[in-house]
Amino acid sequence: MKKYNFNPGPSTLPQETVNNTAKAVVNFSDTGLSLMEISHRSKDFQLVLNETIMLFKELLNIPNDYSILFLGGGASLQFCMVPYNLLETKAAYLNSGAWACKAIEEAKLFGEVLELASSREKNFSYIPKNYIIPSDVDYFHITTNNTIFGTEIHSDIESSVPIVADMSSDIFSRTIDVSKYGLIYGGAQKNLAPAGVTFVIIKNSILGKVSRSIPSMLNYSIHIENGSMFNTPPVIPIYAALQTLKWLKSLGGIEEIHKRNKEKADLLYEEIDRNRLFKGTAAIEDRSLMNVCFIMNDEYKNLENDFQQFATSKGIVGIKGHRSVGGFRASIYNAIPKSTVKVLIHAMQKFERMN
Ligand SMILES: *Cc1c(COP(=O)(O)O)cnc(C)c1O
């Protein structure tokens, strides 16, 4: 049976990414060697890395005074690498969900952390607003898309201090102005590549301002000096990321994908709002274009397992909500076509008629 994969991460990637990477694992660039078996310093792989960096710059319009790194350790390692490299005395954090909480806990190991605003009291169902960013903090950290709670910051924030953004689950999904950020990072496994590579986009001038010594592997400057090859980078995920970026460029780039993402999300939210069995959990103005969270309406709570089973019988995979929200979450990243979203919508409509 054809599967419709709504997994939150690792998640659906473009078919081209999967196919081209599978080919390169067998025979990379007609070298007769597997991508797994060659030096990361070989000319052929250096070309892959260079092209990936070039497409990052082109698609996101990254200014020249920024560096791009491909590291290991996931977004979770960035929760500590960011304060290690940037927090001298005090940093501000926006607490918009579970990943932000983890980032905050790590930063506390390095200095004073101001939690500027939080939506915890409403189970992170909205993006906190109406806060003032102090001018005396080393940086302000935000999570642009809250993968678990299905909320998203839809526009860039103005700030006089560097903004550090965890964009693990919405990078390349919408237009952003990189020049408004000091640092952007994310794990690749939501919208870009298989797990194993973490991208970091850094404005060079924000580095070198802390007085502590930093172990080499955790030091952005060392990775930049070594062209993201201080140690062996995750070659297969980087190759896969390149395939995704080529696919994205061929579609028309970020503006085009953003348009499609809006269309997909609008269709699904419309159905959630219309269907008497379901309701959305996120504040309407903060609804994520990437992770659509919904639960059964109170009077139909007992149908939750039935809908889960019904969806499974239609080939729908990965819609179980995170335990902290319950219900359902459909992750509709870039690689999910509108037709797949429609399969879920039809299942919701059919299930409504049956009940
Ligand atoms: C998945 C996710 C993370 C954690 O990523 P890892 O690569 O597993 O460390 C962090 N932040 C956000 C917003 C995520 O969606």
User: Strand, helix or coil at 59?
Assistant: helix
Catalytic (active site) residue 129: no
Ligand 1 mutation pick, 82, 124, 147, max ligand atoms within 8 A of CB: 147
User: Which tokens sit at 162?
Assistant: 């560097």
What integer best gives the mean pLDDT of the chain? Answer: 97
Q: Cβ of 354: how many Cβ atoms within 10 Å?
A: 11
| Per-residue model confidence (pLDDT) at position 161 | 98
User: Which tokens sit at 116?
Assistant: 């500027």
Ligand 1 mutation pick, 7, 11, 76, 329, max ligand atoms within 8 A of CB: 76
Is the CB–ligand 1 distance for residue 99 below 6 Å?
yes
The distance between the two most distant Cα atoms of the chain, rounded to a whole number of Å, is 65
Is the CB–ligand 1 distance for residue 142 below 6 Å?
no
In the reported structure, the alpha carbon of residue 178 is separated from the centroid of ligand 1 by a whole-number distance in angstroms of 20
| Per-residue model confidence (pLDDT) at position 292 | 98
Domain locations in the chain?
A: 15-251, 253-354
pLDDT digits (tens, 9 = 90+) for 85-122: 999 999 999 999 999 999 999 999 999 999 999 999 99
| Per-residue model confidence (pLDDT) at position 28 | 96
In the reported structure, the alpha carbon of residue 22 is separated from the centroid of ligand 1 by a whole-number distance in angstroms of 25
* Region 222-232 average pLDDT: 97
Nearest CA to ligand 1 atom 14: 168
The CA-atom distances, in angstroms, between 99 and each of 245, 295, 330, 348 are: 25, 21, 18, 30
146 DSSP β-pair partners: 151
DSSP state of 282: S
Q: What is the atom index within ligand 1 of the atom nearest the CA of 169?
A: 15
- β-bridge pairing 316-317 and 4-5: parallel
Q: Which of 43, 65, 102, 166 is catalytic?
A: 166
| Per-residue model confidence (pLDDT) at position 68 | 98
CATH class of residue range 253-354: alpha beta
Is the CB–ligand 1 distance for residue 286 below 6 Å?
no
| Per-residue model confidence (pLDDT) at position 213 | 97
Nearest CA to ligand 1 atom 4: 75
The CA-atom distances, in angstroms, between 152 and each of 65, 148, 237, 291 are: 27, 11, 26, 9
Catalytic (active site) residue 99: yes
Instruction: Cite the DSSP H helix spans in the chain.
Output: 15-26, 43-60, 74-86, 98-107, 220-225, 235-251, 253-274, 304-313, 338-354
* Region 52-65 average pLDDT: 98
Confidence class of residue 329 from pLDDT cuts 50, 70 and 90?
A: very high
| Per-residue model confidence (pLDDT) at position 280 | 98
Nearest CA to ligand 1 atom 2: 168
Catalytic (active site) residue 262: no
Q: What are phi and psi of 330, to 5 degrees?
A: -105, 115
Which one is the CATH code of 15-251: 3.50.50.60, 1.50.10.10, 3.40.50.970, 3.40.640.10? 3.40.640.10
pLDDT digits (tens, 9 = 90+) for 126-182: 999 999 999 999 999 999 999 999 999 999 999 999 999 999 999 999 999 999 999
* Region 288-297 average pLDDT: 98
Confidence class of residue 200 from pLDDT cuts 50, 70 and 90?
A: very high
Q: Which of 2, 44, 177, 190 is catalytic?
A: 190
pLDDT digits (tens, 9 = 90+) for 251-281: 999 999 999 999 999 999 999 999 999 999 9
Is the CB–ligand 1 distance for residue 169 below 6 Å?
yes
Q: What is the atom index within ligand 1 of the atom nearest the CA of 145?
A: 13
Name the E strands within 99-222.
112-118, 140-143, 145-146, 151-152, 163-166, 183-187, 198-203
Q: What are phi and psi of 209, to 5 degrees?
A: -110, 0
Is the CB–ligand 1 distance for residue 143 below 6 Å?
yes
Q: How far apart are alpha carbons 169 and 192 in whole angstroms?
A: 9
